[in-house]
Amino acid sequence: MSTTSRTTTTDRPLRGKIAFITGASSGIGAACATSFARAGARLLLAARRNDRLQDMVIDLRAAGAEDVHTVALDVRDKKQVQTIVDGLPSSWQAIDILINNAGLSRGLEKVYEGKIDDWEEMIDTNVKGLLYVTRAVVPGMVRRGAGHVVNLGSTAGHMTYPNGAVYCATKAAENRISEGLREDLLGTPVRVTTIDPGMVETEFSKVRFHGDEGRAAKVYQGLTPLQAEDVADAILWAVTRPAHVNIAQVLLTSVDQANSLLFNRRTS
């Protein structure tokens, strides 16, 4: 038999595993979908823009996904979250990996000048939405005695930057929730990882600046930011460690970033 055509569990380490990725329509979530497809996973993809998810299906199958199921989901809607998780087709219910990735920033303003609607959107999505999805999915993992929760944190959760207090607070909350969930799951085999990237070039800044692409582009000017694939790579690594190994936290930045405040920007 030709060794080049042989497929092994080593090159498809997630073969048959169901991975539920929230916020899979863009950026880090979409990159995770691709890397998990290559690893042979069955992909359960969620976002509000289900049309985008559907457009990804053919490519994800071609990349190696065993199966792909998409759902339109707004993680801020607790009833919708529970209804969608409870109503999954039976072949999709045994979720092995939950990637709590859906999230956003809105605005870059001093706390005393910030827009309350922006704050609420960030808190409702990044904190409450993450909790709703966790609450709906993790009981099944505990019952089945298997599972891995990966939450998207940020360098912003480790150090606040000026004008970003509320976004940074949501990511600090994510860190504390990940820690607490790990404590609460002690005694079960369910693992909890927080992946905390620095600046990643995605639609994140465009969303932060309410669609202002010029302002968004300036965020990445003069430096080499992380790409969504770099973060997906870290996530794939964390979920493919032996079952007794829990990667609690991965903090990663580009070489042009030291922390939330210090960047190496080239001016030429």
For the annotated catalytic residues, the residue numbers are 167
Binding to ligand NDP (CB under 6 A): which residues in 208-247? 228
Query: Applying CB under 6 A, which of residues 66, 179, 203, 230 lies at the interface with ligand NDP?
Result: 203
CA distance 229 to 240: 16
Is residue 23 at the binding interface for ligand NDP, with CB under 6 A as the rule? yes
Q: Which does 23 bind (CB under 5 to 8 A by kind): ligand NDP, ligand 8X3, none?
A: ligand NDP
Is residue 207 at the binding interface for ligand NDP, with CB under 6 A as the rule? yes
* Number of residues located near ligand 8X3, criterion CB under 6 A: 8
Question: By rule CB under 6 A, what string of x and - marks binding of each residue 173-212 to ligand 8X3?
Answer: -------------------------xx-------------
CA distance 157 to 164: 11
What's the distance, Cα to Cα, between the start and end of the chain in Å?
55
Query: Applying CB under 6 A, which of residues 67, 74, 120, 230 lies at the interface with ligand NDP?
Result: 74
Is residue 26 at the binding interface for ligand 8X3, with CB under 6 A as the rule? no
Handedness of CA 147, 152, 155, 160 (dihedral sign): negative
Task: Single out the segment in contact with ligand NDP by CB under 6 A; choices: 4-12, 57-65, 74-82, 240-248.
Answer: 74-82
Q: Which of 169, 105, 167, 99 is nearest to 134 (CA)?
A: 99
Least separation in angstroms between CB 135 and ligand 8X3: 23
Is residue 76 at the binding interface for ligand NDP, with CB under 6 A as the rule? yes
Is residue 202 at the binding interface for ligand NDP, with CB under 6 A as the rule? yes
Query: Applying CB under 6 A, which of residues 26, 34, 155, 194 lies at the interface with ligand 8X3?
Result: 155
Is the Cβ of residue 71 or residue 156 nearer to ligand 8X3 in the bound state? 156
Task: Single out the segment in contact with ligand NDP by CB under 6 A; choices: 2-10, 47-55, 58-66, 142-150.
Answer: 47-55
Q: Which of 16, 32, 1 is nearest to 230 (CA)?
A: 32
Q: Where are the alpha helices (DSSP H) in the chain?
A: 27-38, 50-63, 78-86, 116-122, 130-144, 165-184, 204-208, 213-219, 228-239
Which residue is at the shortest CB distance from ligand 8X3? 154
What's the one-letter identity of residue 254? Answer: S
Which secondary structure element, helix H or strand E, spans residue 69, and what is its range? strand 67-72
Q: Which of 75, 11, 6 is nearest to 37 (CA)?
A: 11
Q: Which string of DSSP letters, residue by residue, matches 155-211?
A: GGGTS--TT-HHHHHHHHHHHHHHHHHHHHTBTBS-EEEEEEES-EESSHHHHHTTT
Q: Residues in the site for ligand NDP, rule: CB under 6 A?
A: 22-29, 47-49, 73-76, 101-104, 125, 129, 152, 154, 197, 199-200, 202-204, 207, 228
